[in-house]
A and B are shown apart, each in its own frame.
Chain A
């Protein structure tokens, strides 16, 4: 299983769990995740996410299961240069943007430019809709989830480049899937009595990828959504691995940076 929605480090608004790379790697192994694309939790709130991303990239050395992922703030003048710097030094295939936490809209032209620049580097961009249950946020530090209209607008600007949407609720995922064909979605926030079978009634399996939102959520819980007889084996394989490999192939650049 490949997890496209993971982070390492401290998120200050929750009790905290598996914050260190070794703890996260152990949890991923227990969940059956063979490869997790891991960004820096602290980069979400950092004034410049580059330094935090660099620290994460360094801290993952020795954990073969954990692959570094970037975090970008497209409104920074240096954003694209910083991304190229990260990509040239580490085997990053995924960069996340957090419009809600950055105070900008996903339909800001700078976000589309960032997605295009990332694509040129062979990097997939993910728009993170939220990090916590909207009802559970800190009493005075609340961040609105990213709006569906803005994501649809962004998807249109960057098409046919694929764009990943992380932490969407079931209704959001179903609505966005109908509105833009180049959008793909993880399953971390999708839940009902039969999470995936219910979602698959509205969204085809080829638009879904595995994502856990670890360490805020247990990766074992996301893995449990793929288990059970109500999910077909072909769908399970597609969501767990196949779709992710396909999407990354679309944005693959001819030459990659050196890994370390």
Chain B
């Protein structure tokens, strides 16, 4: 069984575009991905979404998870700059809803203290955060998190499990930044199928802190899977990356809530 921990819908919420969902599941089926973690249609409401924009994303994710509970887990997307409203949205979607964790994109840097309310709520609920990260991007959004920001968040909240997105986006230096924090996992998403970074991550972080993520529909399931399989020869390591680690990070909450 393969779990993809980094997947997006791309249509505007709050409803689910049924054709989009059907295509997503058909393409996942074609490469034997059985479980997908939806990180929301985060690009729809812009980089610094309003509370209404956030709710539309989350209503869509919750509807999709309720429709396909055996295939989908979902994350609650929030803008940390909303403060207590962000906390209320997490409670609505995770404590009282079917979502199994939190997604943070580029509304605030992970190292910024405005993120604390989100981190504290996540720790309180016992769920993880999927944090977008990318290093050294010219012209990138000003509040985009770099690996150094993720490291700061991990240091401030050692009980908060964090999945740092985009291994190829932060590169070897970024992996170095978070290697010392046992509460940080990294996903395989990001950029073209760059060779060597996953091998480096296995050496630096070990196979227990890496999860498979495709970033579909920006990227293609099969391309990312082929990259992981090219990099990982050992069957047990492959199983850890493609399934076991994701189940440990997201599965407990996902299975009970969905």
Q: Which positions in A face B, CB cutoff 8 Å?
A: 14-18, 27, 30, 132-137, 139, 142, 188-189, 191-195, 213-225, 227-229
Extra A-B contacts (18), CB below 8 Å, given A17-B231, A221-B227: A14-B197, A17-B195, A133-B194, A134-B138, A137-B136, A191-B218, A191-B219, A192-B217, A192-B219, A193-B216, A193-B218, A214-B195, A215-B195, A218-B226, A221-B226, A222-B223, A224-B222, A228-B222
A216 to B137, CA, bound (A): 19
Chain B residues close to A by CB (< 8 Å): 23, 27, 30-31, 134, 136-138, 140, 168-169, 171-172, 191-197, 199-200, 216-227, 229-231
Across the interface, B195 reaches (CB within 8 A) one of A18, A228, A229, namely: A18
User: Which chain A residues border B192 with CB–CB below 8 Å?
Assistant: 133, 188-189, 191, 213, 217
B30 lies within 8 A of A228 (CB): yes
Partner of A220, one of B197, B199, B200, B229: B229
Q: Would you give the shortest CB distance from A36 to chain B, in whole angstroms?
A: 15
Asked whether, in the complex, the Cβ of A135 is within 8 Å of the Cβ of B134, the reply is: yes
A226 to chain B, nearest CB (A): 10
Chain A, Cβ-Cβ closest to B30: A228
Tally A-B pairs: CB < 8 A.
106
Inside 8 A of B227's CB, which chain A residues have their CB? 218, 220-221
A48 vs B199: C-alpha distance in the bound complex, in angstroms?
Answer: 32
Q: How far is the CB of A192 from chain B (nearest CB, A)?
A: 7
Q: Are B222 and A227 in contact (CB-based, < 8 A)? A: yes
With contacts A136-B171, A193-B220 taken as known, whether A224 is within 8 angstroms of B136 at the C-beta atoms is no
Contact, CB under 8 Å: B196 / A225: no
Bound CA span A136–B199, Å: 17
Complex CA gap A190/B193 in Å reads 11
Closest approach, in angstroms, between the C-beta of A140 and any C-beta of chain B? 10
Residues of B within 8 A of A221 (CB): 193, 223-224, 226-227, 230
Evaluate contact between B220 and A15: CB separation under 8 angstroms: no
Residues of B within 8 Å of A214, CB to CB, are 195
Q: When the two chains form their complex, are residues B200 and A15 in contact, meaning their CB atoms are under 8 A apart?
A: yes
Contact among B169, B172, B220 for A224, CB-based, below 8 A: B220
CB atoms of A15 and B199 under 8 A apart: yes
Chain B: CB-nearest residue to A225 = B223
- Expressed in whole angstroms, the Cα–Cα distance for A191 and B216 within the complex equals 10
Residues of A within 8 A of B223 (CB): 191, 195, 221-222, 224-225
Collect the chain B residues with CB atoms within 8 Å of residue A16's CB.
196
Complex A-B, nearest 10 residue pairs according to Cβ-Cβ distance, in ascending order: A193-B217, A15-B196, A221-B193, A17-B195, A224-B226, A17-B196, A224-B222, A218-B230, A220-B230, A220-B226
Per the bound structure, the CA–CA distance linking A188 and B134 in Å amounts to 22
Shortest distance from the beta carbon of A7 to any chain B beta carbon, whole Å = 12
Is A14's CB under 8 angstroms from B217's CB? no
Alpha-carbon distance between A139 and B171 when the two chains are bound, in angstroms? 12
In-complex Cβ contact of B137 among A132, A135, A195 (8 A) = A135
Q: How far is the CB of A14 from chain B (nearest CB, A)?
A: 6
In the complex, what residues of B have CB within 8 A of residue A192's CB? 217-220
Among B191, B195, B219, point to the contact of A218 (Cβ < 8 A): B195
A243–chain B nearest beta-carbon distance, Å: 21
CA gap between A227 and B229 in the complex, in Å:
15
**A213 partner residues in chain B, CB cutoff 8 A:** 192
Q: Which residues of A contact B169 (CB under 8 A)?
A: 135-136
